[in-house]
Copies of this chain bind each other. A is one copy, B any other.
Amino acid sequence: MSRTLGELSVLLHARLAGDPTVEISSIASFASAELGDLVFVDDPRHLASAEASHASAILAGEFASRSTKPLLVAAHPRQAFARAAIWLTESAPTAPSTHSTAMVHATAQLDPTVTVEEAAIIRSNVHIAANTIIGAGAVLGPNVTIGRDCRIYPNVTIYPGTTFGDRVIVHAGAVLGSDGFGYVRDAVTGRYEKFPQIGRLVLEDDVEIGANSTVDRGALDETRIRRGTKIDNLVHVGHNVSIGEDVVIAAQTGISGSSTIESNVIIGGQVGIADHVRIEEGAILGAQSGIPSKKVIRGKGIIFWGTPGRPIKSYLKDLATLSRLSKQK
């Protein structure tokens, strides 16, 4: 949806230097920009490249005062650009509808503004609030509750009783609310018997779950992912895990049963967190690090790395010591 630079300036609280009537229809990178596009610059060294692009205007940080192109200046240009993108790239909403091949149980309660795509399956007592979109081939088990403005992509499976807040995004192929991995071994036969996995999974507002990630429901209680947490692709979250607000978890990380991740933690890719671990507020776990069972990791803003995870300074010193000794030999 097209906007003038003048309109964008108001929407983004950005100072405009240049013609306010210039039409902006999309966002782009320097390389892909065409007439009508907005590009952004958060580093003064890249301003010349932005000016050399085919973009119609530049969104830059406060370092920029003049440019060969019309210029929007914002305190946080990356964030302003992200917000501009929402206004510019959102497609006109299509009329909500339930596709004729979707299968919605008679007891399910869907707001009239909900969209249900082809062959999606919605079981008994499901509740879905306004403007939510359920993707093609998604399966929502009985008693699932989904808030408003959520987006469930195709081929997602949601086990019974799972609850979502508002504005939750779940990418294709994710599995939410599956059985946790819990067994009891028979002392005589050595065979494993299934321990009950009858708890539930709660995803609070503004959570995003990546493609093909899996989040198990609680065994007896709940697994909970709190407001604003973002989870990348192929991540595993075990039963009874508690994840705080505004946590970021990169791809292929795994969190074992009954661990707690407090708010504002940042977790790199392929990190392994064993059971009953506590990662305290604001800690950072470097990629591939491993946290053993029952450990407590504390230190706001401190990066932990390695297996077993230790502060990065200590980890790098260990690596340097080893390298030095190796060379001595």
Contacts and interface: CB of A to CB of B under 8 A. Distances in A.
A298 to B, nearest CB: 19
A321 B319 contact: no
Given A157-B153, A288-B290, A264 B190 contact: yes
Contact of A290 (B181, B221, B287): B287
A81 B326 CA distance: 46
Contacts of A195: 78, 81-82, 85
A234 interface: yes
A228 interface: yes
A61 interface: no
B252 A256 contact: no
A6 interface: no
* Residue from the set A181, A321, A322 with the largest chain B CB neighbour count within 10 Å: A181
Interface stretch (A9-17, A44-52, A65-73, A211-219): A211-219
Interface string A126-139: 00000000011101
A211 B216 CA distance: 9
A317 B321 contact: no
Contact of A323 (B159, B211, B228, B318): B318
Interface in A174-213: 175, 178-179, 181, 183-184, 186-187, 190-196, 198-199, 206, 208, 210-213
A193 B79 contact: yes
A238 B198 CA distance: 31
Interface in A273-292: 274, 287-288, 290, 292
Interface of A: 27-29, 31-32, 76, 78-79, 81-83, 85-86, 89, 101, 103, 117-119, 121, 135-137, 139, 153-155, 157, 159, 171-173, 175, 178-179, 181, 183-184, 186-187, 190-196, 198-199, 206, 208, 210-214, 216, 219-221, 228, 230, 232-234, 236, 238, 246, 248, 250-252, 254, 256, 264, 268-270, 272, 274, 287-288, 290, 292, 306-308, 314, 317-319, 321-326, 329
